[in-house]
């Protein structure tokens, strides 16, 4: 802390101090002009920098691979590189802080936000978070690690209490945050929406003051998630520095009154303000008085990085030699994700990308269109396909569509996410109505489905006829962060080539937690048996069939968990039909997590490509053709079936939650730890992935001279590329404590290294372990404990492939502070 912060703090009035502790609007904290204090601006999100616009539209931004894709790279240096690039993106949007990274643990396989998080494993998540944060903050942009803590499900997340014992918190869920503080020095932490053991995390004194600040020595700020603050004195006293967004609901005059009444002391208030000033100094916003300006900077170096990272994230799950694709082969390109670029998940992480490259476009660029044929086969939409185009919108300064419009504008596509400034400020963003004028020309005749879902009241008319009504009987559902209704669908017969007028009427309604207004409208003609048959036909005519299936950002999204992990729609039927028609079938998956694969034995290769950002199609084509190595390894265990994951239970309180509580009954046994505990063989194990070359590990050696005194050791292992081309692997080290006074997992990941080698090259890899790598947390004694006895060191290339082992023994116990 500099002298200037002391001087500013002493010069501030009570009103000025309070101003800095809540947002001015959705994306900024007010300036204090009298003292020359500039305005702090923040922006979402983990896979790009959206700027101050809506989740839909706005200034264009670079779309990077999502969190689980970064997790799949197991590459800390790449995470640092991405963080550095994102700092440039944040600066292009005139902001000082990025609301990222997201490090909640993959507790279940159905969490809608798993795509945004790195891994089921705390050490992998923590290592990647440290690299990402160091990349960001090395360029002067503040990181905001989130969501602190226990937000592993999107179901009733703004009210649900995550019931987690302290040992599980310390050993699993807190570790990425702890490392972000202790190793990366993060400048920001965002509290989660949920309660933790009955108390909102935004006012959780033990979490924010005892653990975060006193035990870990944190000196940054804690901000609320948007609308995630629920009180005044409680949040300030517990350690929440910043209430977001603005204008304030719980602070402002309420906080001034709390100081006057003594429920918040001036000393506590000054702690909160000092933290804000320190952050503003670190990010440069303290002296930043430039007019706010956002630019769409489509940087060639970012394009190249996104493409390279997308390929390195791709996990080759099965390959009998059909990949890389044979040069000159005729390809049948099939599936709902073939010509649609699935580049990101849904929710606050989404942005208006500079461009989107589909797999079809990527293959055409590399192979030429003359060798390709195409059939969609089936759909995989959760909602009816979005009505696209440029539409005129009339805005009314009331909620009844009455009178003359106060503003007329345009929008791209039949969707809107209105927050903050709406209709150039001519309407109250929470109290207005709008009429959207669109048109639709169907490509085929038939009975079309018209769908609408909205956070607000909405209706859809086609040629003046009411087709879908989400107004008369609006019911809260699982869209728009649980502020919207489920999709309401109507049907109408439409003729190919004829243009129909479409009118959407919308009005705001009272919100539950998040103050927003939104809708999305789609029109679609369902695909059927004939479409699957056509896909099978072209598969039979091609030499190789490549099927692009999976999910999209409607399924993998903030605000809604998945109903299961079976592929949506008729995609399993499609793969079965194609595989029956073509003995050379390759499946490319794009999902934010595991799926069941009943067709696995009937296809020759499976590539998991996740959501790799705006270069999706190019990155996927690079891997399929062999221009790039599939460099990914699974950051999450893929179970055979949904019921095999640790959160699945007949007790609804375990998942998805019951009567306001979700109980983490499995404790520390998440992910591969769960499989080991039950002796369960997963579909694909944690850390698994194939490449286009092979690797051999050998000569494991332990240097243990400091193990007895300090609990530290160094492991070395030799890695050799045994194949004929360059490639990479991940050396993974797990620790096993066979005899313990407390139940422990069979093994736990404690160190790893991504290694790239030329054909035939060998290298010695060094992995360092500290005492915490051997310890478990004793909640009753409030310390970490390394017990006396034998520990096994297991090394290999996945949690199920650990051919190398060595042992080390301690004669004494070692207690470590929190």
What letter would DSSP give residue 102? Answer: B
pLDDT of residue 412: 86
- Which tokens in the block code for residue 419? 């927050």
- Measured CA to CA, the distance from residue 478 to residue 675 in angstroms comes to 31
Fold topology of 695-816? Immunoglobulin-like (2.60.40)
Backbone angles phi, psi at 50, to 5 degrees: -75, -30
SS (H, E, C) 372-400: EEEECCCCCCCCCCECCCEEEEEEECCCC
Sheet holding 783-786, edge to edge: 776-778, 783-786, 814-816
Q: Where in the chain is the domain with CATH 2.60.120.260?
A: 390-524
Sign of dihedral through CA atoms 338, 341, 344, 346? negative
pLDDT of residue 2: 62
Fold topology of 3-38+75-287? TIM Barrel (3.20.20)
pLDDT digit string, tens, across residues 766-811 = 999 999 999 999 999 999 999 999 999 999 999 999 999 999 999 9
Contacts of 627 (CB under 8 A, 6+ apart): 366, 621
Confidence band, pLDDT 50/70/90 cuts, at residue 700: very high
pLDDT digit string, tens, across residues 465-484 = 999 999 999 999 999 988 99
- Measured CA to CA, the distance from residue 608 to residue 589 in angstroms comes to 5
Quick one: 390-524 is in which CATH superfamily? Galactose-binding domain-like (2.60.120.260)
Sheet holding 40-43, edge to edge: 28-29, 40-43, 97-98, 142-148, 188-191, 221-223
> Global pTM?
0.95
Contacts of 33 (CB under 8 A, 6+ apart): none
- Which tokens in the block code for residue 665? 């009954």
pLDDT digit string, tens, across residues 70-85 = 999 999 999 999 999 9
SS (H, E, C) 203-249: HCHHHHHHHHHHHCCCCCEEECCCCCCCCCHHHHHHCCCEECCCCCC
Q: What percent of the chain has pLDDT over 70?
A: 100
How many Cβ atoms from other residues are within 10 Å of residue 327's Cβ?
8
- Provide the CA 539 distance to its chain's centre, in angstroms: 34
- Whether a cis peptide bond, with omega within 30° of 0, leads into 639 is no
Confidence band, pLDDT 50/70/90 cuts, at residue 261: very high
What letter would DSSP give residue 53? Answer: S
DSSP string, 318-370: EESS--SPPTT--EEEESTTSSS-----BSTT---BS----HHHHHHHHH-GG
- For the chain, give the mean pLDDT: 96
pLDDT digit string, tens, across residues 167-208 = 999 999 999 999 999 999 999 999 999 999 999 999 999 999
Confidence band, pLDDT 50/70/90 cuts, at residue 1: very low
Residue entry with tokens 């150039």: 424
SS (H, E, C) 11-25: HCCHHHHHHCCECCC
Helix ranges (H only) for 432-565 are: 529-541
Q: Where in the chain is the domain with CATH 2.60.40.10?
A: 695-816
pLDDT digit string, tens, across residues 708-720 = 999 999 999 999 9
Point out the residues that are catalytic. 225
Q: Is 475 exposed, middle or buried (0-12, 13-18, 19+ CB in 10 A)?
A: exposed
How many Cβ atoms from other residues are within 10 Å of residue 670's Cβ?
26
CA angle centred on 416, ends 415 and 417, rounded to 5°: 140
Q: What is the mean pLDDT of residues 567-581?
A: 98
- Return the closest-CA partner of residue 187 out of 255, 300, 282, 274: 282
Q: What is the mean pLDDT of residues 219-236?
A: 97
3-state secondary structure of 706: coil
pLDDT digit string, tens, across residues 376-429 = 999 999 999 999 999 999 999 999 999 999 999 999 889 999 987 899 899 999
pLDDT digit string, tens, across residues 524-545 = 999 999 999 999 999 999 999 9
pLDDT digit string, tens, across residues 149-164 = 999 999 999 999 999 9
- Return the closest-CA partner of residue 783 out of 217, 219, 215: 215
Which residues pair with residue 557 across a beta bridge? Answer: 346, 560
Q: What is the mean pLDDT of residues 306-322?
A: 98
Stated as kind and residue range, the H or E segment containing 624 is helix 616-625
Sign of dihedral through CA atoms 610, 612, 614, 617? negative
């Amino acid at each position: 802390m500099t002298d200037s912060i002391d001087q500013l703090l002493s010069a501030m009035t009570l009103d000025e101090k309070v101003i800095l502790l809540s947002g001015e609007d959705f994306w900024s904290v007010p300036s204090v002009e009298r003292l020359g204090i500039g305005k702090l601006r923040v922006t979402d999100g983990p896979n790009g920098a959206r700027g101050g616009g809506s989740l839909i539209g706005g200034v264009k931004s670079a779309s990077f691979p999502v969190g689980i894709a970064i997790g799949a790279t197991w590459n800390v240096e790449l995470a640092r590189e991405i963080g550095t690039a994102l700092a440039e993106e944040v600066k292009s949007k005139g902001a000082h802080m990025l609301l990222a990274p997201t490090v909640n643990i993959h507790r279940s396989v159905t969490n809608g936000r798993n795509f945004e998080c790195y891994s089921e494993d705390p050490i992998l998540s923590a290592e990647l978070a440290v690299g990402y944060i160091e990349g960001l903050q090395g360029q002067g942009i503040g990181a905001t690690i989130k969501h602190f803590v226990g937000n592993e499900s999107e179901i009733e997340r703004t009210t649900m209490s995550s019931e987690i014992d302290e040992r599980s918190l310390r050993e699993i869920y807190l570790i990425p945050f702890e490392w972000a503080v202790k190793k990366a020095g993060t400048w920001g932490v965002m509290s989660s929406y949920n309660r933790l053991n009955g108390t909102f995390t935004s006012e959780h004194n033990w979490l924010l003051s005892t653990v975060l600040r006193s035990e870990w020595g944190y000196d940054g700020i804690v901000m609320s998630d948007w609308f995630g603050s629920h009180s005044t004195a409680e949040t300030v006293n517990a350690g929440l520095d910043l209430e977001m967004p603005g204008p304030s609901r719980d602070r402002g005059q309420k906080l001034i009154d709390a100081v006057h009444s003594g429920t918040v002391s001036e000393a506590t208030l000054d702690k909160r303000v000092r933290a804000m000033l320190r952050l503003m100094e670190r990010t440069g916003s303290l002296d930043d008085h430039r007019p706010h300006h956002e630019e769409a900077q489509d940087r060639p170096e970012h394009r190249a990085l996104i493409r390279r990272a997308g390929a390195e994230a791709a996990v080759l799950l099965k390959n009998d030699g059909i990949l890389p694709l044979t040069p000159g082969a005729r390809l049948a390109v099939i599936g709902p994700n073939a010509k649609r670029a699935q580049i990101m998940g849904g929710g606050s992480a989404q942005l208006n990308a500079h461009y989107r490259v589909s797999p079809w476009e990527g293959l055409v660029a590399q192979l030429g269109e003359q060798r390709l044929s195409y059939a969609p086969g089936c759909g995989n939409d959760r909602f009816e396909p979005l009505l696209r185009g440029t539409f005129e919108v009339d805005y009314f300064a009331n909620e009844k569509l009455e009178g003359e419009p106060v503003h007329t504008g345009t929008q791209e596509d039949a969707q809107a996410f209105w927050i903050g400034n709406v209709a150039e400020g001519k309407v109250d963003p929470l109290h207005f109505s709008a009429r959207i004028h669109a048109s639709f020309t169907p490509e085929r005749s038939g009975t079309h489905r018209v769908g609408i879902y909205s956070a607000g009241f909405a209706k859809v008319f086609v040629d003046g006829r009411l087709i879908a009504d989400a107004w008369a009987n609006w019911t809260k559902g699982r869209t728009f962060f649980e502020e919207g209704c489920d999709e309401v669908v109507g049907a109408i017969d439409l003729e190919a080539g004829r243009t129909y007028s479409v009118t959407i009427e919308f009005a705001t309604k009272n919100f539950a937690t998040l103050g927003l207004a939104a809708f999305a409208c789609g029109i679609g003609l369902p695909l059927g048996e004939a479409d699957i048959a056509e896909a099978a036909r072209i598969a039979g005519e091609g030499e190789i069939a490549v099927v692009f299936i999976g999910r999209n950002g409607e399924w993998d999204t903030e605000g809604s968990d998945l109903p299961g992990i079976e592929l949506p729609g008729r995609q399993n039927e499609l793969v079965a039909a194609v595989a029956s028609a073509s003995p050379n079938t390759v499946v490319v998956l794009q999902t934010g997590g595991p799926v069941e694969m009943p067709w696995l034995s009937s296809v020759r290769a499976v590539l998991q490509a996740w959501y790799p950002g705006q270069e999706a199609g190019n990155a996927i084509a690079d891997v399929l053709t062999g221009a790039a190595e599939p460099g990914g390894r699974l950051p999450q265990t893929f179970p055979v079936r949904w019921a095999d994951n640790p959160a699945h239970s007949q007790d609804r309180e375990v998942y998805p939650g019951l009567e306001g509580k979700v109980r983490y009954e499995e404790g520390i046994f998440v992910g591969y730890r769960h499989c080991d505990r039950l002796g369960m063989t997963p579909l694909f194990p944690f850390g698994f992935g194939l490449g286009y070359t092979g690797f051999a590990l050998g000569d494991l050696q332990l240097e243990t001279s400091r193990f007895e005194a300090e609990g530290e050791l160094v492991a070395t292992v030799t890695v050799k590329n045994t194949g004929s081309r360059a490639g990479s692997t991940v050396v993974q080290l797990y620790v096993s404590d066979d005899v313990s006074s407390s139940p422990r997992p069979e093994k736990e990941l404690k160190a790893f290294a991504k290694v790239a080698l030329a054909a035939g090259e060998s290298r010695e890899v060094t992995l360092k372990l500290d005492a915490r790598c051997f310890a478990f947390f004793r909640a009753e004694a409030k310390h970490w404990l390394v017990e006396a006895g034998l520990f096994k060191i297991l090394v290999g290339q996945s949690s199920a492939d650990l051919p190398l082992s060595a042992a080390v023994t301690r004669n004494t116990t070692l207690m470590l502070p929190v």
